Amino acid sequence: MAALAVVMVVVGTTAGIWSMRRQVEAGLAQQAQAFLTTPLFSMVAFASFVAAAIRRRRDSQTHKRLMLLATISILDAAVARLPFEFLRTSSWNYLPATDVFLAAAILYDVASRRTVHQAYLWGGLVLVIEQALRIPVGETAVWQAIARGIIGGGS
């Protein structure tokens, strides 16, 4: 399973870069450079949660929650493609919609265990912060320079 996660990170990162290169070719260089944070940050979050889950594989309660967080961390693209127009207008719309899955997991913990597992508290916080940083980081001059180096595009 760890090998599959590595393949997912490689494929996800590659697909994100290729997709943004197509956007550059379509004349949307600045938007593509800013949006590159989305696939790359998602892959970093996914890889981090999976790595933490592998480390905690003997603690099944923590392991399964970290794996669920890894899954939630890459759901944003699928949620953004749901047939609801408001989700497509801004990442500030589809990211909170993605976090509904996190909220459901937390609510399940509360209903079944009467408490929230630490993996959801810390991992959920990391996930929400990572999502919130995508747009501001993507708009910085430093990120734009990094993205130009990765996907090309004018200044």
- pLDDT tens across 103-152, in order? 999 999 999 999 999 999 999 999 999 999 999 999 999 999 999 999 98
Tell me, what's the pLDDT at 77? 85
Tell me, what's the pLDDT at 78? 87
pLDDT digits (tens, 9 = 90+) for 18-59: 999 999 999 999 999 999 999 999 999 999 999 999 999 999
CA proximity to 63, closest of 73, 50, 53, 55: 53
Tell me, what's the pLDDT at 91? 67
CA proximity to 45, closest of 117, 118, 109, 95: 95
Give the distance, in angstroms, between the CA of residue 139 and the centroid of all CA atoms in the same chain.
17
The single residue listed with the structure tokens 């997991």 is 105
- State both tokens at 132: 């919130």
Q: Are 114 and 3 in contact (CB under 8 A)?
A: no
Tell me, what's the pLDDT at 147? 95
The single residue listed with the structure tokens 């600045």 is 30
pTM of the model: 0.90
pLDDT digits (tens, 9 = 90+) for 78-97: 888 888 877 777 667 788 88
Tell me, what's the pLDDT at 143? 96
Judged against a pLDDT cut of 70, whether residue 155 lies above it is answered with no
